[in-house]
Amino acid sequence: MSKNILHMLTPLKHMSPFDVNMAADAGFDVIATYTSVTPEEVRGLVQDAIFSRSPADAVRQGVFFAGKNAIAALDMMKTAEDSLVPPFLINLMADPAGSFTTAAGMVACAAKLLETRFQTSFKDKTVVIYGGTGVVAFSAAVIAAGEGARVKLVGYDGTKRVGAIAADMKARFGVDVEPADGSSPEKNAELALDAEVLFAAGPAGVQILNADQVAAAKKLLVAGDVNAVPPPGIHGIDVFANGEPLGIGDGVGLGALAIGNVKYQAQNRLFRRMITTGEPLVLDFRHAYAEARAFIG
């Protein structure tokens, strides 16, 4: 039987050891990494892979797209998909900086808390996402908007960059996301006042909302923070929190390590799908979200 091979592509100088370990633990027989890959090189690499096997064995391999930019990874995966020549088809998956599976884990955990603690869902909820120019925020915004939420994507440097990102989300995925100005602590705090769900996806070790600002968010139901480096992005959220009270109203917290466990499982399940599938797959954060929801029930 042919071996399961994973080709891992990144535009960066190094491939993430985290992703390599995840692929190995999922069961790939051979893992090859390619670094400093340009968009123009994707087509040649993919076609080199597909034509080295019979059509029957082609699906026993995949191409993984890494990096630190969600849009770049999605564009590279689209180039790869367009480079396939039926019946020579292979599996494709993107998860730049682990952001797609991290966002999927965060939103899935929050959805579970909304359902079990508050008997509700994301539909028509106001969701404020800090760290709006980052890769985790990108994916979380699209997923939450797809679940029917009113999403505000907050830019630390104003609305210009997050406005362009929101426009790209609309063009690619048909979702409406509102750009918001988070260029000062006061503006961040004001955005939190109407939020029913808060997600902090900013830089590690940077606190976005302090204790008083969190206490003023009276409508808050769930607050999630992917930052595992002290201090937390949102005050009062322990890294292990998975529904613990925030101490304000009914609000509960969701910490980085609780999210990380679900992220880990979602990425593992996607890799295993690539190994076991009989039909070629194209996987992004939407599939990661489905796997995260399936894992947590």
CB 243 within 8 A of CB 223: no
Q: What are the CA-CA distances from residue 226 to residues 11, 205, 231, 294 (Å)?
A: 24, 11, 12, 20
Residue 88 has what DSSP assignment?
Answer: B
Position 133 scores a pLDDT of 95
Q: Are 275 and 28 in contact (CB under 8 A)?
A: yes
Tell me, what's the pLDDT at 1? 66
Give the global pTM.
Answer: 0.95
Nearest to 49 by CA among 29, 66, 32, 36: 32
The DSSP code sequence of 37-66 is --HHHHHHHHHHHHTTS-HHHHTTEEEEE-
Beta strand segments in 102-176, E: 126-130, 150-155
pLDDT one-digit tens code per residue, 33-63: 999 999 999 999 999 999 999 998 989 999 9
Q: What is the pLDDT of residue 145?
A: 98
Separation of alpha carbons 289 and 267, rounded Å: 10
- Is residue 258 within 8 Å of 224, Cβ to Cβ? no
d(CA 235, CA 225): 10
Q: Domains in the chain, ordered, with CATH?
A: 5-94 (3.40.50.10280), 99-259 (3.40.50.720)
User: Looking at residue 120, what is its pLDDT?
Assistant: 98
Confidence at residue 155, expressed as pLDDT on a 0 to 100 scale? 97
Cβ neighbours around 243 below 10 Å, total: 14
Mean pLDDT by 10 residues, the chain (297 residues): 93 97 97 98 96 90 96 97 95 96 98 98 98 96 98 97 96 97 97 97 94 95 95 94 90 97 98 95 97 96
- pLDDT score of 208: 97
- Report the C-alpha gap between 245 and 270 in whole angstroms: 32
Q: Is omega for the bond preceding 232 within 30 degrees of 0, making it cis?
A: no
Q: Give yes or no for a contact between 10 and 42, defined as CB atoms under 8 angstroms apart.
A: no
8 Å CB contact between 129 and 105: no
Which has the closest alpha carbon to 258: 283, 221, 285, 232?
Answer: 232
- Which strand ranges, in their side-by-side order, compose the sheet holding 242-245? 177-181, 150-155, 126-130, 197-200, 222-225, 252-254, 242-245
